[in-house]
Amino acid sequence: MKRIGLVAHDEMKDEMVAFAQTHRDRLGAFTLFGTGTTGGRVSEGTGLSVTLLKSGPRGGDAQLGAMICEGQLDALIFFVDPLTALPHDVDVKALVRLATLYDIPLAVNRSTAEAVLASL
Burial class (CB in 10 A: 0-12, 13-18, 19+), 115: exposed
Q: Is 10 labeled as catalytic in the residue annotation?
A: no
User: Whose CA is closest to 70, among 100, 35, 98, 92?
Assistant: 98
The residue from 14, 61, 81, 91 that is catalytic is 61
User: Whose CA is closest to 79, among 28, 29, 5?
Assistant: 5
- Tell me the catalytic residues: 61
